[in-house]
Amino acid sequence: MAQEKTFAQIESRYFWLLAALGALVVGAGLYSAYFMESHGHVVTGMNNHVVWGMPHVFAIFMIVAASGVLNVASVGSVFGKHVYKARAPLAGLLSIALLAGGLTVLMLDLGRPDRIIVALTNYNPTSMFAWNALLYSGLFTTVALYLWTLMEKRMNPWSKPMGFVVFGWRIILTTGTGLIFAFLVARQAYASAILPPMFIVLSFAWGLAVFLIVQSAMFSWNELKLNPAIQQRMKNLLGVFIVGSLYLVAAYHLTNLYFARESAFEHFILVSGGIYPALFWGGYVVVGSALPLLLIFTPGMGKGIHVLAASLLTLAGAFALLYVFIIGGEAFPLDIFPGYQVISSSFGDGQVASYAPSLPEIVLGTGGLAIAFMITIAGVRALNFLPHDDPKAVHQD
């Protein structure tokens, strides 16, 4: 009987407090966007070299995670696993919430969000950014239709076909996100064909980590306990995705090391770049990968609190990796004339660019997370997104 509860039936004394705190953070993020637009990017840490700063780290994380969290739904609808299908509605809600938060940060960070009208009325089919605009709006549409087929009984027969559509669309979307960087020949750190598959695998780990955190919170609010067998499956899947992410990130750097022209960049990002190698090895490899794997696979661990801690550490590693990848890739000077020494000028040619994130940038990015948070708690408050597990289905899978 306990499993029949829905979040809407639980009068949690924390709901309105959480909603108020979320609205406060959203308001602070909007004010930060206004402050940066009014005063210009001079109030940020960004400059002529590092044009994508901390807000882009938040935005890219949320966009990639929005795609990855749908993996939970895909395992259920596409591959017929009942345990995961019960979690498909929540995965769809989280995908919409994260994508909305990420795109909000992306638009406000541009400084002139009204200029999106120009992009819509003057479509450039040769631009990857233009294609991503279609992919983002398409994901909103396909996920919304998918949720309709899941939550409306008369539409249930269409849930499997829509599951296939969403599965294909999210793979294409994450590929497009990777191609944004892969097609940027103006940055040595990026132009690599391995980036699209790397982003796809990273999305699996980050999306599942987000899902496990939200699921844990929802079950805690409703005074429910997750079936140990289900928890075992999901934490093992998270471990597999973390290992896969490590493999693709290692392949990306090893591929760069193979080319002589990239050796200086790799030495900078992995050894001599100050904050960047520290964040890569300490933040991503140790905190974001090694520690979660220990928490997941060490005998006697891998239980509720350990899985939650592993998920949080995975997300911390995600931010560390994106900071190194996005900002470190911009900070390293472009080798315009290979084999020749570039004379430094007042414009910083041939020099490593400096960057320190400002408070408005961080608050704007946090505001995007708050938007995703507000959409999620409003959704689970209004509709029944709480997973309902059938004990028989756990053993059937």
Query: Any residues with CB less than 8 A from the CB of 147 and at least 6 apart, and which?
Result: 89, 92, 93
- Could you give the domains of the chain? 13-333+352-379 (1.20.1630.10)
Query: What pLDDT score does 10 carry?
Result: 43
Residue-wise pLDDT for 338-368, tens only, equals 666 666 655 556 677 888 899 999 999 999 9
Query: What pLDDT score does 111 carry?
Result: 67
Query: What pLDDT score does 8 carry?
Result: 44
User: What is the pTM (predicted TM-score) of this model?
Assistant: 0.90
Residue 254: what residue type?
L
Q: How far apart are CA 264 and CA 312, in angstroms?
A: 33
Query: What pLDDT score does 242 carry?
Result: 96
* Segments of the chain scoring below 50 in pLDDT: 1-11
Query: What pLDDT score does 117 carry?
Result: 76
